[in-house]
Amino acid sequence: MLGSIIGDVAGSIYEFNNIKSKNFPLFIPACKFTDDTVMSVAVADCLIRKDPDYAAAFQLWGRRYPNAGYGGMFKQWLHKDTLAAYNSWGNGSAMRVGPVGFAFSTLDEVLAEAKRTAIATHNHPEGIKGAQATAAALFMARQRGSKEEIRYFITARFDYDLRRTLDSIRPNYKFDESCAGTVPEAIIAFLESTGFEDAIRNAISLGGDSDTLACITGGIAEAYYGIPDEIAEQAMSYLDEPLAKVVTDFRLKRFE
């Protein structure tokens, strides 16, 4: 899941100040973790504790970090007395699902758990689809599936157009908070990459919702390439102790 956090931190300064280039410093002091990291940690925390109450975890962690940059509807939901989902199709379900792809041994388990994480808030079909597609791509990357196998499965199962290129997407791509307008682009950024850092740069270079794009791409890229130690250490330095502890515990845990 650290790959997702790296993408979030690296992309954080470009979310509302897009850069349509791969030529930028990966980290600068102004970078920070955002809601993508907080909610990914919430999912990881549930998986570590084997507690399926994702909605409660999202509210708990979200209230601990109230200024992490949540979307409007999610921010309202965080402070409600109810845990009822609100039928969102936003990319929040995809940005936080990364840990699921690392925690299970079969694709069916991953798809089922990804749905559970989504429907806690994002129970719209597109919200569920985005989470499942992201988790499936990550799981297949972790299982050493080829990029063409990943492209074929995601296209066939979720009807995302993954035959586009980054160069064709980049010029006209704008901020899009939907799963439908984020997940395919993030997966393409991975498919065209030559390594972990290159995948992150691909995602951020598209513009749009940069931190979330790179968060989704980063999780898949971690599963496929691993993470260079220097980049991992730099990213961890942006986290406070509670977040860092869950990340470390998750990375050390052996799931059965």
Please report, for the domain that includes residue 233, its CATH number: 1.10.4080.10
Sign of CA dihedral 29, 41, 95, 135: positive
Task: Specify whether the CB–CB gap between 32 and 9 falls below 8 A.
Answer: yes
Q: How far apart are CA 220 and CA 149, in angstroms?
A: 14
pLDDT of amino acid 254 = 79
Q: Looking at the 3D structure of the chain, how many domains does it have?
A: 1
pLDDT of amino acid 196 = 98
Task: Tell me what percent of the chain is helix, strand and coil, each rounded to the nearest 5.
Answer: 65, 0, 35
- Which amino acid does the sequence have at 3? G
Q: Which regions in the chain score pLDDT beneath 50?
A: none
SS3 call for 164: coil
- Per the DSSP assignment, residues forming a β-bridge with 178 are 90
Q: What are the residues whose beta carbons fall under 8 Å from the beta carbon of 44, sequence distance 6 or more? A: 1, 99, 246, 247, 250
Instruction: For residue 245, give its domain range.
Output: 2-78+85-252
Q: How far apart are CA 194 and CA 197, in angstroms?
A: 8
pLDDT of amino acid 25 = 97
pLDDT of amino acid 168 = 98
Task: Specify whether the CB–CB gap between 188 and 228 falls below 8 A.
Answer: no
pLDDT of amino acid 256 = 59
SS3 call for 215: helix
Label residue 127 exposed, middle or buried (CB < 10 Å: 0-12, 13-18, 19+). buried
Q: How far apart are CA 239 and CA 147, in angstroms?
A: 31
